[in-house]
């Protein structure tokens, strides 16, 4: 379970630059292949071997400063409630503002680690100006410049020292998380599966900020349901806050093997659902898309299941090998099919292919369609194998790995999918020097 770090502060103090600097270093390595960086408010970073998720609260608020006044309080409340540590960023150029004081007032009451980061300190004059931030009553501060990166090391050293240790999973059971935006029917889906009584019992734990697990054991299936829906929201946090669903989903997704992404058919596969989808895909989790309330869609003639499915596939390219089921939680239509599919996806995700069999299938395909020559050089792939990781990753050994381009890697991925069935599971393909 990764720790979550939230960056808060008023607009234009450099939160996003700092955020990008921390995740870019990593995304550049990890995500160079997929090019899916659609939502820039969430990312993973690591420092001194400790990995954490980073959330930039600033990206969520659009609009003028006065709208911001109300929003920033909501965000800080959220960060306080959800994150394991908080970086509060201020700007040495403008000095302490009223808004900074408001945020500090909220943060002083928190018993979580809070790090005051004074940004834009790029010379010794400014180092002296930073002293005034002691007046915020948050103790020592860290000076840095998010543009050139100076000072970030000291802050991160202090930060990772205070992050909770990730607990190792006790249970061997598969973990399925039900995620999606508010009001898509997540709670009803879980009630339909486990029966109302069971759920009311769990609801007493509504004060926890982590997702609640329920062990499900019926019809020959056994797994843990990681639920984000049943958590009672603090009244202060407005229902519609997009940031909220994302933060909630981050926790559930990091903590599961397969995500059941539930969406409301009448609202469609909108931007927020798409964000949650990519969040799951980037974390290499299995995914099943469940379209709920299909019975409420008017005008079925022009909006057939087939067209609806095409639309979703268009939105999730290039990772389109994902099961999409149309269900109705109300009439319990296909909800067990949904669980069955999740179990299949879980099995696909943990599938191990013997190296010999893998070579027997893949090498002839590569021979028939070798990587295109690059700068007059021919790439020869000699050997391939599945890596011993928790989700499917494959290494292809060749003489010139740097000359194999993304389209060819995608070709290999599609062939692996065709031959071995990895429906619902993100796959990584690496080229290695033999």
Annotated binding-site members for GTP: 9-16, 56-60, 119-122, 180-187, 227-231, 292-295
Binding site residue list: 9-16, 56-60, 119-122, 180-187, 227-231, 292-295
Count CA atoms within 13 Å of residue 267 on its CB side: 15
What are the b/e assignments for 192-221, b being 16+ CB within 10 Å?
bbbeeeebeebeeeeeeeebbbbebeeeee
> Exposure pattern of 63-93 as b/e (b: 16+ CB <10 Å)?
eeeeebeebbbbbbbbbbbbbbbbbbbbbbe
Measured distance CA(367)–CA(360) in Å, rounded: 11
Give 2's contacts (C-beta < 8 A, 6+ positions apart): 44, 51, 52, 53, 166, 254
Asked if 86 and 115 count as a contact pair (C-beta separation under 8 A), the reply is yes
Give bridge partners of residue 381 from the DSSP assignment: 398
Q: How many helices (H) and strands (E) does the chain have?
A: 13, 15
């Amino acid at each position: 379970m990764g720790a979550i770090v939230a960056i808060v502060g008023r607009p234009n103090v450099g939160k996003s630059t700092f955020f990008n600097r921390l995740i870019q270093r990593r995304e550049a390595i990890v995500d160079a292949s997929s090019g899916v960086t659609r939502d820039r408010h969430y990312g993973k970073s690591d420092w001194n071997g400790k990995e954490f998720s980073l959330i930039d609260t600033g990206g969520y608020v659009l609009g003028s400063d006065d709208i911001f006044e109300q929003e920033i309080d909501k965000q800080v409340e959220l960060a306080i409630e959800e994150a394991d540590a908080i970086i509060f960023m201020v700007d040495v150029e403008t000095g302490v503002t009223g808004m900074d004081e408001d945020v500090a007032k909220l943060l002083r009451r928190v018993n979580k680690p809070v790090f005051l980061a004074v940004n834009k300190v790029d010379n010794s004059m400014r180092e002296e100006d930073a002293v005034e931030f002691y007046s915020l009553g948050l103790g020592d501060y860290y000076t840095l410049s998010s543009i050139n990166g100076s000072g970030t090391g000291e802050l991160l050293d202090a930060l990772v020292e205070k992050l909770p240790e990730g607990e190792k999973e006790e249970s061997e059971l598969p973990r399925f998380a039900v995620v999606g935006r508010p009001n898509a029917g997540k709670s009803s889906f879980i009630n339909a599966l486990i029966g109302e009584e069971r759920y009311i019992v769990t609801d007493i734990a509504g004060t926890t900020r982590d997702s609640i697990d329920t062990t499900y054991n019926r019809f020959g299936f056994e797994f843990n349901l990681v639920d984000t829906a049943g958590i009672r929201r603090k009244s202060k946090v407005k229902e519609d806050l997009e940031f909220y669903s994302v933060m909630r989903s981050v926790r559930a997704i990091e903590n599961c093997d397969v995500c059941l992404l539930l969406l409301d058919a009448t609202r469609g596969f909108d931007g927020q659902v798409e964000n949650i989808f990519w969040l799951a895909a980037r974390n290499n989790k299995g995914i099943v898309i469940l379209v709920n309330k299909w019975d409420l869609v008017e005008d079925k003639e022009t909006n057939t299941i087939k067209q609806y499915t095409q639309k979703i596939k268009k939105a999730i390219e290039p990772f389109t090998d994902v099961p999409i089921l149309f269900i109705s939680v109300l009439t319990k239509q296909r909800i067990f099919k949904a669980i069955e599919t999740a179990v299949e996806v879980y099995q696909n995700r943990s599938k191990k292919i013997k190296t010999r069999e893998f070579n027997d299938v893949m090498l002839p395909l590569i021979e028939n369609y070798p990587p295109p020559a690059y700068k007059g050089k021919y790439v020869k792939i000699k050997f391939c194998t599945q890596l011993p990781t928790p989700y499917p990753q494959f290494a292809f050994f060749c003489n010139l790995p740097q000359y194999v381009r993304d389209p060819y890697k995608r070709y290999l991925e599609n062939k692996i999918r065709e031959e071995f069935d990895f429906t619902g599971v993100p796959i990584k393909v690496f080229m290695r020097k033999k």
